[in-house]
Homo-oligomer: A and B are copies of this chain.
Amino acid sequence: LSDNSLGRSLLMVSFGESHGEAVGVLIEGIPAGTEIDEKRINEWLARRKPSTSLASTKRKEDDTVEILSGVYRGKATGAPFVAIVRNKGYVDDFYSFAEEGWVRPGHADYPAYIKYKGFNDPRGGGRFSARITVGFVIAGAVAEEILKPLRIEVVGYTKSIGPVECPDFDIDNARKRYEFETRCPSAEHDALMQEEILKAKREGDSLGGTVRIITGKLPVGLGQPVFSSLDSELAKAYFSIPAVKGVEFGAGFRASKLRGSQNNDIYVLSNNEITTLTNNAGGILGGMTNGQPLIATIAFKPVSSIYRPQRTVNVKKIEEGILQLKGMHDACVIPRAVPIAEALTYFVFADMALRGGFINER
C-alpha cells in the first residue's frame, strides 16, 4: 500500500537504517489475542545472526527486540504492533568513501544518491543494508503465530552456494537446517559449502547462491488472483530482500523446456483426498495453492561489497578511481538469507489467509 509496506489484511511497514537509531517494523492486522512471545521473536532474530566460525560479517548483531505498542499481557491487542531493534556495534568510519561520493559497484549507492538527491543516509548502506531485514524477521515470527490454526510450516534451506548444490529435500529432511552453519541440511554439502565460502573469503571475494523454500501440504485456495496471486505476492516479497535476482516456483525455468504432457501434475485420489502425482507447479495453480507443498527457489547474487580493489566512479566529482573497501562484509549471505526468506513466506501466507477468510479477523 506504500513503498515500504507489504501485505494488506496483514500489513507490515519496514523502517530504519543500518547505522541509524534502530531498525524495525510496524504491523497492522494481527488478530486480537494472538500470542506475541518476545523470546520466540529473539530466537528468530538469532537465526539471522552471522555465523561465528564462517565467512560472515564481524559486526556483532546481538539483536534483542523491543516492543513499543500493540501488545498487552503477551497478547496482540488488535492495535498496530511496533517493534524495534537498536543498532549497535557498527563503525561509521568505514563509510567515509560514501560521504566523499565513491559508489560501490553492484550496490545501491549510485541510484540511491541520484534518487534521493544526496539526502539518503549512506552510513552502512542506510536503507539498502541487509540490516533492515531484522524487521522482516520480526514480522515472520508474528505471522508464524497467526498461522498456527492452519498448521502451516515453512522451511527454507540453502540449496546452493557458488558452484556447490545439494539435492532436493522434503520438509522432514530439511527441518534440521539450523543445525548446520550454512543452513544446508546435509553434512556433506554443508562441509563443501563452508569450504567454498572460506576460500572466497581468503581471496577477498564473495559468493552467491540459492535458497529453497518448502512447506508441507497446504490448505487449498490461498492466494488472491489476479494481481495478488500467491506467486505474485511471494515474488514481490522475495525481490525486496537485498541481492535477490531470480525467483521461481516448482519446476520454474525448467518447466519452460517441458511439454504440457510432462509438466501437468496429474490429479489422483489418495484416501479419497485429491492429490497430485508430481509437483511441478510447486503447489501453485492460477495463483492459488492447490494443496500440494509450496516449492520456491530464490537466487541471490554474490555480495557486492568485496575487499578486492575495484574500479569505480565518484558521483560528486564525476571522476574515475579505485575503491578499496574496509569494514565488515559477509563473503556469503545465503545462510543468513534462509530465515529472512522463511519470514517473508510466513508473512505472505498470513496475509493471504486473512484476506481469504481462512482465519477470521474478528
Contact = CB atoms under 8 A, between A and B. Distances in A.
Interface of A: 1-6, 8-9, 11, 13-17, 20-24, 26, 28-29, 32-33, 66-70, 72, 75-82, 84, 103, 105-108, 110-112, 114-117, 119-121, 123, 126-128, 132, 160, 162-163, 200, 205-210, 220-221, 223-229, 231-233, 235-240, 242, 244-253, 255-269, 272, 274, 276, 280-282, 285-291, 299-306, 308, 310-313, 315, 318-320, 355-358, 360-362
Contact of A15 (B69, B250, B308): B69
Given A2-B28, A112-B221, 20 more contacts: A4-B28, A5-B28, A15-B82, A16-B82, A20-B72, A22-B68, A24-B68, A26-B26, A78-B115, A105-B276, A232-B237, A245-B282, A246-B247, A248-B248, A264-B306, A266-B311, A267-B311, A268-B311, A280-B301, A356-B362
A313 B274 contact: yes
Contacts of A208: 255-259, 263
Given A208-B257, A260-B304, A320-B268, A26 B3 contact: no
Contact of A290 (B110, B232, B245, B246): B110
13 contacts: A14-B80, A17-B72, A21-B66, A78-B120, A128-B225, A205-B260, A229-B239, A245-B282, A247-B247, A251-B301, A256-B299, A267-B311, A357-B362
Contacts of A115: 32, 78, 220-221, 288, 356, 362
A26 B15 contact: yes
B79 A126 contact: yes
Nearest to A280: B301
B286 A78 contact: no
Contacts of A261: 205-206, 306, 308, 310
B5 A227 contact: yes
Nearest to A298: B256
Contacts of A306: 260-261, 264
Given A119-B32, A225-B127, A17 B69 contact: yes
B236 A227 contact: yes
* Residue with the greatest number of chain B CB neighbours at <10 A, chosen from A16, A276, A285: A285
B252 A245 contact: yes
Contacts of A223: 111
B26 A13 contact: yes
Nearest to A110: B290
A108 B108 CA distance: 39
B253 A253 contact: yes
A70 B78 CA distance: 26
Contact of A355 (B81, B82, B269, B361): B361
A356 to B, nearest CB: 6
Contact of A210 (B253, B259, B272, B290): B253
A179 B207 CA distance: 42
* Residue with the greatest number of chain B CB neighbours at <10 A, chosen from A261, A300, A304: A261
